[in-house]
Chain A
Amino acid sequence: MNRSSHRSFRVIDLVLLATLFVAAPAWSESTAASMDDEIQDLKAEILDLNRELFLLEEELLFPANTQIAIFVSMDVGEFFALDSVQVKLDGKEVGNYLYTEREVAALHRGGVHQLFLGNVKTGDHELVAIFTGLGPHGREYRRGATLNFDKQIGAKFVELRITDREIKQQPEFFVREWE
Protein backbone atom coordinates (compact mmCIF):
# COMPACT_ATOMS: atom_id res chain seq x y z
CA MET A 1 0.00 0.00 0.00
CA ASN A 2 1.47 3.38 -0.99
CA ARG A 3 1.62 6.53 1.11
CA SER A 4 -1.25 8.38 -0.71
CA SER A 5 -3.75 5.54 -0.17
CA HIS A 6 -2.74 5.47 3.50
CA ARG A 7 -3.48 9.18 3.77
CA SER A 8 -6.89 8.80 2.06
CA PHE A 9 -7.85 6.05 4.55
CA ARG A 10 -6.89 8.34 7.41
CA VAL A 11 -9.06 11.12 5.96
CA ILE A 12 -12.00 8.74 5.65
CA ASP A 13 -11.47 7.64 9.28
CA LEU A 14 -11.51 11.24 10.45
CA VAL A 15 -14.66 12.01 8.44
CA LEU A 16 -16.41 8.95 9.93
CA LEU A 17 -15.34 9.90 13.41
CA ALA A 18 -16.58 13.48 12.96
CA THR A 19 -19.92 12.19 11.61
CA LEU A 20 -20.23 9.96 14.66
CA PHE A 21 -19.59 12.88 17.01
CA VAL A 22 -22.12 15.09 15.24
CA ALA A 23 -24.77 12.39 14.90
CA ALA A 24 -24.36 10.76 18.32
CA PRO A 25 -26.15 13.37 20.50
CA ALA A 26 -29.08 13.58 18.07
CA TRP A 27 -29.29 9.80 17.95
CA SER A 28 -29.12 9.44 21.73
CA GLU A 29 -31.81 12.11 22.21
CA SER A 30 -34.19 10.41 19.81
CA THR A 31 -33.44 6.99 21.35
CA ALA A 32 -34.07 8.35 24.85
CA ALA A 33 -37.35 9.90 23.72
CA SER A 34 -38.53 6.69 22.09
CA MET A 35 -37.47 4.67 25.14
CA ASP A 36 -39.39 7.07 27.35
CA ASP A 37 -42.48 6.54 25.18
CA GLU A 38 -41.99 2.78 25.38
CA ILE A 39 -41.71 2.93 29.17
CA GLN A 40 -44.90 5.00 29.38
CA ASP A 41 -46.70 2.49 27.11
CA LEU A 42 -45.45 -0.38 29.25
CA LYS A 43 -46.62 1.39 32.41
CA ALA A 44 -50.08 1.88 30.90
CA GLU A 45 -50.20 -1.79 29.85
CA ILE A 46 -49.20 -2.91 33.36
CA LEU A 47 -51.95 -0.77 34.88
CA ASP A 48 -54.52 -2.23 32.45
CA LEU A 49 -53.33 -5.74 33.25
CA ASN A 50 -53.50 -5.04 36.96
CA ARG A 51 -57.08 -3.80 36.65
CA GLU A 52 -58.09 -6.87 34.64
CA LEU A 53 -56.43 -9.15 37.18
CA PHE A 54 -58.27 -7.39 40.01
CA LEU A 55 -61.62 -7.86 38.26
CA LEU A 56 -60.84 -11.51 37.53
CA GLU A 57 -59.84 -12.08 41.15
CA GLU A 58 -63.09 -10.47 42.35
CA GLU A 59 -65.14 -12.66 40.00
CA LEU A 60 -63.29 -15.76 41.13
CA LEU A 61 -63.40 -15.09 44.87
CA PHE A 62 -66.86 -13.57 45.01
CA PRO A 63 -68.98 -15.04 42.20
CA ALA A 64 -72.05 -12.93 41.52
CA ASN A 65 -74.39 -15.79 42.43
CA THR A 66 -73.24 -16.00 46.05
CA GLN A 67 -71.87 -12.51 46.53
CA ILE A 68 -72.98 -10.25 49.34
CA ALA A 69 -71.63 -6.75 49.90
CA ILE A 70 -72.39 -4.59 52.93
CA PHE A 71 -72.00 -0.82 52.78
CA VAL A 72 -72.11 1.91 55.42
CA SER A 73 -73.46 5.38 54.71
CA MET A 74 -74.39 8.39 56.79
CA ASP A 75 -76.91 11.17 56.38
CA VAL A 76 -76.11 14.30 58.40
CA GLY A 77 -75.02 12.53 61.60
CA GLU A 78 -75.36 15.48 63.97
CA PHE A 79 -76.73 13.32 66.77
CA PHE A 80 -74.21 10.54 66.39
CA ALA A 81 -70.41 10.46 66.20
CA LEU A 82 -69.62 7.09 64.65
CA ASP A 83 -66.89 5.04 66.28
CA SER A 84 -67.29 1.51 64.95
CA VAL A 85 -69.64 -0.90 63.21
CA GLN A 86 -69.75 -4.61 63.88
CA VAL A 87 -71.55 -6.93 61.48
CA LYS A 88 -72.75 -10.45 62.21
CA LEU A 89 -74.08 -12.71 59.51
CA ASP A 90 -76.06 -15.70 60.81
CA GLY A 91 -74.51 -15.19 64.24
CA LYS A 92 -70.93 -15.08 62.99
CA GLU A 93 -68.90 -11.88 63.09
CA VAL A 94 -67.85 -11.03 59.54
CA GLY A 95 -66.78 -7.44 59.98
CA ASN A 96 -65.71 -5.05 62.70
CA TYR A 97 -64.55 -1.67 61.50
CA LEU A 98 -63.13 1.19 63.52
CA TYR A 99 -63.72 4.55 61.82
CA THR A 100 -61.18 7.34 62.03
CA GLU A 101 -62.10 11.04 62.03
CA ARG A 102 -61.11 11.30 58.39
CA GLU A 103 -63.32 8.36 57.42
CA VAL A 104 -66.30 9.74 59.34
CA ALA A 105 -65.80 13.10 57.59
CA ALA A 106 -65.82 11.26 54.24
CA LEU A 107 -69.10 9.55 55.20
CA HIS A 108 -70.57 12.95 56.16
CA ARG A 109 -69.63 14.26 52.75
CA GLY A 110 -71.67 11.49 51.13
CA GLY A 111 -69.09 8.74 50.89
CA VAL A 112 -70.11 5.09 51.08
CA HIS A 113 -67.83 2.56 52.72
CA GLN A 114 -67.74 -1.09 51.71
CA LEU A 115 -67.53 -2.83 55.06
CA PHE A 116 -67.76 -6.42 53.91
CA LEU A 117 -67.60 -8.44 50.73
CA GLY A 118 -68.18 -12.18 50.93
CA ASN A 119 -70.21 -15.17 49.90
CA VAL A 120 -73.44 -16.67 51.26
CA LYS A 121 -75.58 -19.57 50.12
CA THR A 122 -79.03 -18.98 48.70
CA GLY A 123 -81.78 -19.05 51.32
CA ASP A 124 -82.72 -17.22 54.52
CA HIS A 125 -80.12 -15.27 56.44
CA GLU A 126 -79.96 -12.88 59.36
CA LEU A 127 -77.75 -9.83 59.41
CA VAL A 128 -77.12 -7.90 62.62
CA ALA A 129 -75.26 -4.60 62.64
CA ILE A 130 -74.10 -3.01 65.88
CA PHE A 131 -73.22 0.67 65.78
CA THR A 132 -71.14 2.26 68.55
CA GLY A 133 -70.18 5.88 69.05
CA LEU A 134 -71.18 8.99 70.90
CA GLY A 135 -74.84 9.93 70.89
CA PRO A 136 -76.62 13.15 71.85
CA HIS A 137 -74.87 15.10 74.64
CA GLY A 138 -71.69 13.11 74.06
CA ARG A 139 -72.99 9.99 75.76
CA GLU A 140 -71.77 6.56 74.75
CA TYR A 141 -74.22 5.06 72.34
CA ARG A 142 -74.65 1.50 71.14
CA ARG A 143 -77.49 0.38 68.90
CA GLY A 144 -78.25 -2.67 66.85
CA ALA A 145 -80.24 -3.15 63.67
CA THR A 146 -81.33 -6.44 62.14
CA LEU A 147 -82.26 -7.53 58.65
CA ASN A 148 -83.66 -10.92 57.70
CA PHE A 149 -83.29 -11.53 54.03
CA ASP A 150 -83.72 -14.22 51.45
CA LYS A 151 -80.66 -14.64 49.28
CA GLN A 152 -81.58 -15.42 45.71
CA ILE A 153 -79.25 -16.20 42.83
CA GLY A 154 -77.45 -12.98 42.06
CA ALA A 155 -75.42 -10.47 44.04
CA LYS A 156 -76.95 -8.99 47.19
CA PHE A 157 -76.14 -5.47 48.34
CA VAL A 158 -77.05 -4.30 51.82
CA GLU A 159 -76.76 -0.75 53.11
CA LEU A 160 -76.31 0.19 56.77
CA ARG A 161 -77.56 3.74 56.97
CA ILE A 162 -77.23 6.19 59.84
CA THR A 163 -79.58 9.16 59.78
CA ASP A 164 -80.77 11.86 62.16
CA ARG A 165 -84.28 11.96 63.50
CA GLU A 166 -84.88 15.65 64.09
CA ILE A 167 -88.13 15.25 66.07
CA LYS A 168 -86.62 12.89 68.62
CA GLN A 169 -83.18 14.49 68.45
CA GLN A 170 -81.79 10.98 68.14
CA PRO A 171 -79.90 9.04 65.50
CA GLU A 172 -81.61 6.26 63.57
CA PHE A 173 -80.09 3.15 62.11
CA PHE A 174 -81.46 1.33 59.09
CA VAL A 175 -80.45 -1.84 57.35
CA ARG A 176 -81.88 -2.07 53.87
CA GLU A 177 -81.38 -4.06 50.74
CA TRP A 178 -80.46 -2.37 47.50
CA GLU A 179 -82.79 -3.33 44.70
Chain B
Amino acid sequence: MDIFLQQVVSGIATGGIYASLALALVMIYQATDVVNFAQGEMAMFSTYLAWSMLNAGVPYWVTFFATVALAFLLGLVIERLVIRPVESAPILSIVIVTLGLLVIHNSIAGWIWSYIQKPFPSPFPSRPVHMGPIIVGAHDIGEISVTLIVLLLLFAFFRYTPVGLAMRAAAHNPVSSRLSGIRVSRMLMLGWGLAAAFGAVAGMMVAPIVTLEPNMMGGIQIYAFAAATLGGFTSPGGAVLGGIIVGVAENLVGTYVRFIGTELKLTVALAIIIIVLLVRPRGLFGRAVVRRV
Protein backbone atom coordinates (compact mmCIF):
# COMPACT_ATOMS: atom_id res chain seq x y z
CA MET B 1 0.00 0.00 0.00
CA ASP B 2 2.82 2.37 0.91
CA ILE B 3 4.52 1.57 -2.36
CA PHE B 4 1.30 2.33 -4.18
CA LEU B 5 0.87 5.69 -2.44
CA GLN B 6 4.51 6.54 -2.96
CA GLN B 7 4.19 5.80 -6.67
CA VAL B 8 1.04 7.90 -6.93
CA VAL B 9 2.72 10.84 -5.23
CA SER B 10 5.83 10.70 -7.36
CA GLY B 11 3.54 10.27 -10.36
CA ILE B 12 1.87 13.55 -9.43
CA ALA B 13 5.30 15.14 -9.20
CA THR B 14 6.36 14.00 -12.68
CA GLY B 15 2.87 14.84 -13.89
CA GLY B 16 3.48 18.42 -12.78
CA ILE B 17 6.39 18.60 -15.21
CA TYR B 18 4.30 17.34 -18.10
CA ALA B 19 1.56 19.73 -17.09
CA SER B 20 3.85 22.75 -17.16
CA LEU B 21 4.94 22.08 -20.74
CA ALA B 22 1.40 21.08 -21.72
CA LEU B 23 0.30 24.52 -20.52
CA ALA B 24 2.65 26.18 -22.99
CA LEU B 25 1.27 23.95 -25.77
CA VAL B 26 -2.30 24.87 -24.84
CA MET B 27 -1.35 28.53 -24.61
CA ILE B 28 -0.03 28.67 -28.15
CA TYR B 29 -2.91 26.59 -29.47
CA GLN B 30 -5.43 28.93 -27.86
CA ALA B 31 -3.64 32.01 -29.12
CA THR B 32 -2.66 30.97 -32.63
CA ASP B 33 -4.57 27.77 -33.50
CA VAL B 34 -1.22 26.04 -34.11
CA VAL B 35 0.31 23.08 -32.33
CA ASN B 36 3.96 23.94 -31.78
CA PHE B 37 6.20 20.88 -31.91
CA ALA B 38 9.21 23.01 -31.03
CA GLN B 39 7.75 24.07 -27.68
CA GLY B 40 9.90 21.65 -25.68
CA GLU B 41 13.11 22.55 -27.51
CA MET B 42 12.43 26.27 -27.11
CA ALA B 43 12.05 25.61 -23.38
CA MET B 44 15.32 23.67 -23.35
CA PHE B 45 17.07 26.52 -25.18
CA SER B 46 15.79 29.07 -22.65
CA THR B 47 16.98 26.86 -19.82
CA TYR B 48 20.49 26.94 -21.32
CA LEU B 49 20.30 30.74 -21.31
CA ALA B 50 19.44 30.51 -17.61
CA TRP B 51 22.34 28.12 -17.05
CA SER B 52 24.75 30.58 -18.67
CA MET B 53 23.49 33.40 -16.47
CA LEU B 54 23.75 31.29 -13.32
CA ASN B 55 27.27 30.30 -14.34
CA ALA B 56 28.15 33.97 -14.66
CA GLY B 57 27.11 34.41 -11.02
CA VAL B 58 23.64 35.94 -11.44
CA PRO B 59 21.36 35.08 -8.47
CA TYR B 60 18.71 32.41 -9.09
CA TRP B 61 15.52 34.47 -9.01
CA VAL B 62 17.03 37.28 -11.08
CA THR B 63 18.03 34.63 -13.61
CA PHE B 64 14.56 33.09 -13.43
CA PHE B 65 12.70 36.25 -14.36
CA ALA B 66 15.35 37.42 -16.83
CA THR B 67 15.07 34.06 -18.60
CA VAL B 68 11.29 34.31 -18.75
CA ALA B 69 11.64 37.78 -20.28
CA LEU B 70 14.30 36.62 -22.76
CA ALA B 71 12.19 33.62 -23.75
CA PHE B 72 9.26 35.96 -24.34
CA LEU B 73 11.39 38.06 -26.70
CA LEU B 74 12.72 34.95 -28.40
CA GLY B 75 9.14 33.80 -28.97
CA LEU B 76 8.25 37.17 -30.53
CA VAL B 77 11.27 37.06 -32.82
CA ILE B 78 10.61 33.48 -33.94
CA GLU B 79 7.01 34.32 -34.75
CA ARG B 80 8.01 37.41 -36.69
CA LEU B 81 10.84 35.84 -38.67
CA VAL B 82 9.83 32.22 -39.13
CA ILE B 83 6.08 31.82 -38.61
CA ARG B 84 4.77 35.08 -40.10
CA PRO B 85 5.91 34.24 -43.65
CA VAL B 86 3.90 30.99 -43.56
CA GLU B 87 1.02 32.43 -41.55
CA SER B 88 -1.56 31.95 -44.29
CA ALA B 89 -0.10 28.66 -45.53
CA PRO B 90 -2.00 25.41 -44.89
CA ILE B 91 -1.77 24.10 -41.34
CA LEU B 92 0.47 21.22 -42.41
CA SER B 93 3.14 23.64 -43.64
CA ILE B 94 3.13 25.44 -40.31
CA VAL B 95 3.43 22.14 -38.44
CA ILE B 96 6.42 21.21 -40.60
CA VAL B 97 7.99 24.60 -39.87
CA THR B 98 7.62 23.98 -36.12
CA LEU B 99 9.28 20.58 -36.61
CA GLY B 100 12.12 22.40 -38.35
CA LEU B 101 12.36 24.78 -35.38
CA LEU B 102 12.63 21.74 -33.11
CA VAL B 103 15.68 20.42 -34.97
CA ILE B 104 17.28 23.87 -35.25
CA HIS B 105 16.97 24.63 -31.52
CA ASN B 106 18.32 21.23 -30.66
CA SER B 107 21.35 21.55 -32.96
CA ILE B 108 22.20 25.12 -31.99
CA ALA B 109 22.01 24.24 -28.30
CA GLY B 110 24.30 21.27 -28.89
CA TRP B 111 26.67 23.44 -30.91
CA ILE B 112 26.87 26.21 -28.29
CA TRP B 113 26.74 24.23 -25.06
CA SER B 114 27.70 20.68 -26.23
CA TYR B 115 25.74 17.51 -25.57
CA ILE B 116 27.35 16.84 -22.19
CA GLN B 117 24.84 16.78 -19.34
CA LYS B 118 24.98 19.77 -16.99
CA PRO B 119 23.55 19.96 -13.48
CA PHE B 120 20.93 22.66 -13.06
CA PRO B 121 20.06 23.99 -9.62
CA SER B 122 16.63 23.97 -8.03
CA PRO B 123 15.47 27.06 -6.14
CA PHE B 124 13.84 24.79 -3.57
CA PRO B 125 15.56 23.03 -0.63
CA SER B 126 17.05 19.64 -1.43
CA ARG B 127 15.89 17.78 1.69
CA PRO B 128 12.91 15.50 1.24
CA VAL B 129 9.64 16.13 3.03
CA HIS B 130 8.13 13.25 5.03
CA MET B 131 4.36 12.95 4.95
CA GLY B 132 3.57 9.85 7.03
CA PRO B 133 5.08 6.92 5.19
CA ILE B 134 5.51 8.88 2.01
CA ILE B 135 8.55 10.88 0.98
CA VAL B 136 8.25 13.83 -1.35
CA GLY B 137 11.07 15.98 -2.65
CA ALA B 138 10.82 19.67 -1.82
CA HIS B 139 11.56 20.42 -5.48
CA ASP B 140 8.54 18.33 -6.50
CA ILE B 141 6.27 20.34 -4.24
CA GLY B 142 7.77 23.61 -5.45
CA GLU B 143 7.53 22.62 -9.09
CA ILE B 144 3.86 21.62 -8.81
CA SER B 145 3.10 24.88 -7.02
CA VAL B 146 4.79 26.83 -9.81
CA THR B 147 2.75 24.93 -12.41
CA LEU B 148 -0.47 25.73 -10.57
CA ILE B 149 0.47 29.41 -10.33
CA VAL B 150 1.18 29.48 -14.07
CA LEU B 151 -2.18 27.81 -14.68
CA LEU B 152 -3.92 30.45 -12.60
CA LEU B 153 -2.15 33.28 -14.43
CA LEU B 154 -3.00 31.77 -17.80
CA PHE B 155 -6.62 31.28 -16.88
CA ALA B 156 -6.98 34.80 -15.51
CA PHE B 157 -5.18 36.27 -18.51
CA PHE B 158 -7.45 34.65 -21.09
CA ARG B 159 -10.62 35.05 -19.08
CA TYR B 160 -10.38 38.52 -17.58
CA THR B 161 -8.05 40.71 -19.61
CA PRO B 162 -9.03 42.52 -22.83
CA VAL B 163 -5.81 41.39 -24.49
CA GLY B 164 -6.52 37.77 -23.55
CA LEU B 165 -9.97 38.08 -25.11
CA ALA B 166 -8.52 39.69 -28.24
CA MET B 167 -6.00 36.85 -28.53
CA ARG B 168 -8.72 34.21 -28.38
CA ALA B 169 -10.79 36.16 -30.89
CA ALA B 170 -7.82 36.50 -33.25
CA ALA B 171 -7.09 32.77 -33.07
CA HIS B 172 -10.65 31.67 -33.75
CA ASN B 173 -11.75 34.19 -36.36
CA PRO B 174 -8.98 36.36 -37.78
CA VAL B 175 -11.13 38.10 -40.41
CA SER B 176 -13.80 39.16 -37.95
CA SER B 177 -11.11 40.21 -35.51
CA ARG B 178 -9.53 42.56 -38.03
CA LEU B 179 -12.97 44.00 -38.77
CA SER B 180 -13.23 44.70 -35.04
CA GLY B 181 -9.93 46.55 -35.11
CA ILE B 182 -7.77 43.80 -33.55
CA ARG B 183 -4.26 43.63 -35.01
CA VAL B 184 -4.25 39.90 -35.55
CA SER B 185 -0.59 39.46 -36.42
CA ARG B 186 0.39 41.32 -33.26
CA MET B 187 -1.79 38.94 -31.23
CA LEU B 188 -0.21 35.87 -32.83
CA MET B 189 3.21 37.28 -32.03
CA LEU B 190 2.18 37.88 -28.44
CA GLY B 191 0.88 34.30 -28.24
CA TRP B 192 4.25 32.92 -29.30
CA GLY B 193 6.00 35.16 -26.79
CA LEU B 194 3.81 34.10 -23.89
CA ALA B 195 4.01 30.40 -24.77
CA ALA B 196 7.79 30.63 -24.96
CA ALA B 197 7.81 32.37 -21.56
CA PHE B 198 5.69 29.62 -19.97
CA GLY B 199 7.88 27.04 -21.67
CA ALA B 200 10.97 28.61 -20.09
CA VAL B 201 9.37 28.20 -16.65
CA ALA B 202 8.72 24.54 -17.47
CA GLY B 203 12.32 24.08 -18.64
CA MET B 204 13.80 25.54 -15.47
CA MET B 205 11.56 23.31 -13.35
CA VAL B 206 12.43 20.19 -15.37
CA ALA B 207 16.19 20.68 -15.65
CA PRO B 208 17.03 20.02 -11.96
CA ILE B 209 15.34 16.61 -12.27
CA VAL B 210 16.54 15.34 -15.63
CA THR B 211 19.77 17.41 -15.78
CA LEU B 212 20.31 19.86 -18.59
CA GLU B 213 21.14 18.56 -22.09
CA PRO B 214 19.84 19.36 -25.57
CA ASN B 215 17.58 16.30 -25.65
CA MET B 216 16.13 16.70 -22.17
CA MET B 217 12.67 17.70 -23.44
CA GLY B 218 12.33 14.92 -26.01
CA GLY B 219 10.45 12.41 -23.89
CA ILE B 220 8.76 15.06 -21.78
CA GLN B 221 7.29 16.71 -24.85
CA ILE B 222 5.60 13.45 -25.84
CA TYR B 223 4.12 13.16 -22.34
CA ALA B 224 3.06 16.81 -22.55
CA PHE B 225 1.30 16.09 -25.84
CA ALA B 226 -0.44 13.15 -24.18
CA ALA B 227 -1.42 15.46 -21.31
CA ALA B 228 -2.77 18.19 -23.57
CA THR B 229 -4.60 15.65 -25.74
CA LEU B 230 -6.12 13.98 -22.69
CA GLY B 231 -7.16 17.23 -21.01
CA GLY B 232 -8.17 18.92 -24.26
CA PHE B 233 -6.10 21.40 -26.23
CA THR B 234 -8.65 24.12 -25.53
CA SER B 235 -8.54 23.76 -21.74
CA PRO B 236 -5.58 24.89 -19.59
CA GLY B 237 -7.05 23.26 -16.47
CA GLY B 238 -7.64 20.07 -18.42
CA ALA B 239 -4.02 20.07 -19.59
CA VAL B 240 -2.75 20.25 -15.99
CA LEU B 241 -5.07 17.48 -14.83
CA GLY B 242 -4.13 15.53 -17.95
CA GLY B 243 -0.46 15.93 -17.07
CA ILE B 244 -1.01 14.59 -13.58
CA ILE B 245 -3.10 11.65 -14.83
CA VAL B 246 -0.41 10.79 -17.37
CA GLY B 247 2.32 11.04 -14.73
CA VAL B 248 0.49 8.80 -12.28
CA ALA B 249 -0.53 6.30 -14.97
CA GLU B 250 3.01 6.12 -16.27
CA ASN B 251 4.39 5.46 -12.78
CA LEU B 252 1.82 2.87 -11.80
CA VAL B 253 2.04 0.98 -15.06
CA GLY B 254 5.84 1.06 -14.83
CA THR B 255 5.70 -0.36 -11.30
CA TYR B 256 2.95 -2.94 -11.50
CA VAL B 257 2.94 -4.14 -15.08
CA ARG B 258 6.10 -6.22 -15.11
CA PHE B 259 6.82 -6.37 -18.86
CA ILE B 260 6.56 -2.60 -19.33
CA GLY B 261 8.99 -1.57 -16.59
CA THR B 262 10.98 1.59 -17.23
CA GLU B 263 11.95 0.79 -20.81
CA LEU B 264 8.47 0.83 -22.31
CA LYS B 265 7.08 3.68 -20.18
CA LEU B 266 7.00 6.11 -23.08
CA THR B 267 4.64 3.77 -24.88
CA VAL B 268 2.07 4.54 -22.20
CA ALA B 269 2.02 8.19 -23.32
CA LEU B 270 1.59 7.23 -26.95
CA ALA B 271 -1.14 4.75 -26.05
CA ILE B 272 -2.96 7.50 -24.16
CA ILE B 273 -2.75 9.85 -27.16
CA ILE B 274 -4.14 7.19 -29.51
CA ILE B 275 -6.92 6.07 -27.17
CA VAL B 276 -8.06 9.65 -26.48
CA LEU B 277 -8.05 10.50 -30.18
CA LEU B 278 -10.12 7.40 -30.92
CA VAL B 279 -12.60 7.67 -28.08
CA ARG B 280 -12.90 11.35 -27.26
CA PRO B 281 -10.91 13.51 -29.67
CA ARG B 282 -11.67 16.77 -27.89
CA GLY B 283 -10.17 15.45 -24.63
CA LEU B 284 -11.75 15.38 -21.19
CA PHE B 285 -12.40 19.09 -20.86
CA GLY B 286 -11.86 20.46 -24.34
CA ARG B 287 -14.54 21.87 -26.56
CA ALA B 288 -15.33 20.26 -29.85
CA VAL B 289 -14.27 22.56 -32.66
CA VAL B 290 -16.47 22.41 -35.72
CA ARG B 291 -15.04 23.80 -38.92
CA ARG B 292 -16.63 24.26 -42.25
CA VAL B 293 -14.16 23.10 -44.84
A and B bind? no
